[in-house]
């Protein structure tokens, strides 16, 4: 027990030292080569080139190049054509020698995979903005979509929030067809197997369903019709796009995600708006705030995660400061009260965002993922923050908790689950339009987010919420995979999903002998590695066996141990071995290390590495184990 105490003490101190003066935490959020490459291309598109920044981005891009010659979507991943085309273009425009070994290998790999013509839609749009390919290389996405009512099939309101904000500005760019300044006049004809002007099959299979073929024919049919749309309607549609975009231009940028921010800046440039305009200044600064600058490297994050990081760090610190042998309880509680104050100020209480289209009578009360994103609060963040505030001081935080509860209940979808940002955002056919070759146009309910909402509502314990909770539990029961695990939509992957659900089932009072719980426990036992840990990488989103990886990782091991402890497995050999693995992997500074990515933006196309996960989840697991050992019931009494 003494060694567990030492591990908790070291991890508690390490995480506590990273807390900001105002009480919040924020860690790096790293994606792949795509966003840093796009940032370099944006500088050259606008002729706003910062040589020092782009040279440091070049260092980053060269470092993460794969052994296969191209760039993967996650650590150790396979070659990805689209990421590789963008990274190669960025390095060439930075000034890398085409005969350098890394450029030669990249070029050969790209051509071996069909060349830039076979890259994805977003990459081809980027290339069209540079004049590398004709606009006919991109799917038909007329700006007139902005005029469609909510009930229309192709309405932007049927898309997920991230799609909506990216598409709105992209439709304007597609309508105006601007071209990059590209002051160095750099181009990439060498990445095409045949000249772009000769390519006739820009949009081709394999299609994921019959809908893909239907929409391909529709795309073909619409092309000759679009030029016939009256100019007046065309201009009205552009105005409607701007009308949608501008109210959502906060300090954090449109949607607080990089692609939408970049599109907005290019849109304003196409309108002839000067860079000194307040809207452009704000948008440009929002992008600068995404850059992570180190001594010799820079990369651009897709967004920032302070609310999520603060909620999770706070829960880990609170668990460490609880029990019979708490870690610096008074000091920790005082610091967490600063976190609570910071979080309360971030709660969105006055803005009815896009979510209100489907819930007009629900009051706002959620939190966004980022520092500011008032139109797009996040259900998952809201549940986590609500659980932290409730556990920390339910009386002082009562008003914030109640507003969060009201909003979470109002955001439940018809099938009993919860999506991340919207209700019933599940018009699956839209994922098969040519524009959506990434298959992530929607935000349907998922097991991990739904489990968090069930956990939050159960922790609050309002009897009148039981029908909502029961619908959520029934949804989770239906979502269990045949192996016994649950899919992790926002964390990697089945271990994350299973941890999320088992925490919810415990606090909901589901018997540990329930068959779905026993199946999940058996699955976790089956995928535990010989060293006592658990590991899983993003390849499981691409068809590899759930919960399996070549090494054990601190994040996944912590999730597995927390999941097992939530359903009465405190004294099992599985948990003991997992705890031992976490102790063994901790360094002398109280920290853990892992390189593989631990989360996902869009399965198969965009993955994430939360740099904080390897720190606060192991702390939470070790602290809970210590606390449960001294507990008479051995039962986890909280939702998380």
578/530 Cα distance (integer angstroms)? 10
275-282: list long-range contacts, CB under 8 Å, 24+ apart.
Answer: 275/46, 275/48, 279/246, 279/249, 282/249, 282/251, 282/253
Sequential DSSP letters for 187-199:
--GGG-SS-GGG-
Structure tokens at 77: 């991943």
Residue tagged 């890259």 (tokens): 119
Question: Of 32, 354, 380, 437, which one is the catalytic site residue?
Answer: 380
d(CA 496, CA 558): 10
End-to-end CA distance of the chain: 23
Kindly state the tokens that stand for 221: 């049919």
Q: How many CB atoms lie within 10 A of CB 461?
A: 10
Residue with tokens 């060293």: 531
Separation of alpha carbons 458 and 461, rounded Å: 5
Say if CB 304 and CB 26 are below 8 A apart: yes
Per the CB < 8 A criterion, the answer to whether 607 and 74 are in contact is yes
Compute the C-alpha angle 520/523/524, nearest 5°: 90
Give the closest residue to 640 by CA, choosing from 364, 403, 391: 391
Alpha-carbon distance of 200 to 431, in angstroms, equals 23
Whether 380 is catalytic = yes
Antiparallel, parallel or unpaired: β 29-30 and 606-610: antiparallel
Answer whether 380's CB lies under 8 Å from 436's CB. no
Tokens of 509: 């009072």
Alpha helices, H only, 23-131: 34-46, 51-63, 81-94, 101-112, 121-129
DSSP string, 474-503: HHHHHH--TTS----SSBSSHHHHHHHHHH
Burial of 6 (0-12, 13-18, 19+ CB in 10 A): middle
Cα–Cα distance, 443 to 158 (Å, whole number): 9
Q: Provide the annotated active-site residues.
A: 380
């Amino acid at each position: 027990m003494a060694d567990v105490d030492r591990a908790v003490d070291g991890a508690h101190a390490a995480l506590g030292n990273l807390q900001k003066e105002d009480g919040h935490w924020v860690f790096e959020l790293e994606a792949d080569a795509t966003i840093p490459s796009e940032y370099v291309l944006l500088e050259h598109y606008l002729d706003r080139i910062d040589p020092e920044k782009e040279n440091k981005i070049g260092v980053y891009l060269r470092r993460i190049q794969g052994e296969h010659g191209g760039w993967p979507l996650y650590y150790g991943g396979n070659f990805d054509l689209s990421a590789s085309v963008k990274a190669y273009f960025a390095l060439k425009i930075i000034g890398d020698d085409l005969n350098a070994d890394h450029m030669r290998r990249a070029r050969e790999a790209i051509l071996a995979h069909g060349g830039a013509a076979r890259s994805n839609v977003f990459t081809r749009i980027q290339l069209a903005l540079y004049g590398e390919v004709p606009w006919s290389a991109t799917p038909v996405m007329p700006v007139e979509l902005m005029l469609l009512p909510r009930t229309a099939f192709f309405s932007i309101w049927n898309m997920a929030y991230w799609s909506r904000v990216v598409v709105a500005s992209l439709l304007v760019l597609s309508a105006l067809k601007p071209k990059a300044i590209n002051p160095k006049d750099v181009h990439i004809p060498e990445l095409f197997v045949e000249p772009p002007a000769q390519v006739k099959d820009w949009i081709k299979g394999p299609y994921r369903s019959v809908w893909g073929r239907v929409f391909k024919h529709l795309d073909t049919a619409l092309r000759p019709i679009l030029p016939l749309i009256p100019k007046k309607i065309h201009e009205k549609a552009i105005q409607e796009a701007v009308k949608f975009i501008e109210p959502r231009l906060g300090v954090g940028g449109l949607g607080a995600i990089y692609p939408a921010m970049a599109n907005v800046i290019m849109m304003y440039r196409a309108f002839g708006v000067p860079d000194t305009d307040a809207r452009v200044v704000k948008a440009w600064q929002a992008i600068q705030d995404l850059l992570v600058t180190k001594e010799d490297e820079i990369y651009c994050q897709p967004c920032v995660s302070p609310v999520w990081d603060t909620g999770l760090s706070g829960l880990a610190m609170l668990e460490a400061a609880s029990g019979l042998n708490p870690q610096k309880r008074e000091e920790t509680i005082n610091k967490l009260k600063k976190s609570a104050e910071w979080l309360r100020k971030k709660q969105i209480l006055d803005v009815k965002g896009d979510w209100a289209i489907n819930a007009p009578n629900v009051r706002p009360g959620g939190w966004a993922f980022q520092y500011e994103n008032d139109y797009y609060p996040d259900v998952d963040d809201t549940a986590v923050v609500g659980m932290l505030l409730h556990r920390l001081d339910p009386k002082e935080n009562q008003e914030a908790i109640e507003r969060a509860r009201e909003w979470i209940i109002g955001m439940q979808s018809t099938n009993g689950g919860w999506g991340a940002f919207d209700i019933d955002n599940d018009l699956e056919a839209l994922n098969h339009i040519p524009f959506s070759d990434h298959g992530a146009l929607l935000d349907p309910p998922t097991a991990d987010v739904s489990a968090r909402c069930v956990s939050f509502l159960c922790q609050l314990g309002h009897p009148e919420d039981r029908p909502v909770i029961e619908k959520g539990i029934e949804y989770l029961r239906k979502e269990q995979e045949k192996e016994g695990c649950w899919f992790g939509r926002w964390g990697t992957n089945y271990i994350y999903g299973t941890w999320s659900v088992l925490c919810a089932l415990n606090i909901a009072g589901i018997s540990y002998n329930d068959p779905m719980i026993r199946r999940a426990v058996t699955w976790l036992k089956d995928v535990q590695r010989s060293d006592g840990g658990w590991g899983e990488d993003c390849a499981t989103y691409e068809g590899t066996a759930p919960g399996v990886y070549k090494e054990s990782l601190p994040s996944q091991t912590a999730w597995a141990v927390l999941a097992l402890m939530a359903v009465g497995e405190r004294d099992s050999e599985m948990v003991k071995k997992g705890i031992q693995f976490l102790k063994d992997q901790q360094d002398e500074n109280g920290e853990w290390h892992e390189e593989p990515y631990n989360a996902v933006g869009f399965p198969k196309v965009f993955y994430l590495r939360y740099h904080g996960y390897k720190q606060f989840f192991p702390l939470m697991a070790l602290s809970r184990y210590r606390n449960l050992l001294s507990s008479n019931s051995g039962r986890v009494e909280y939702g998380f």
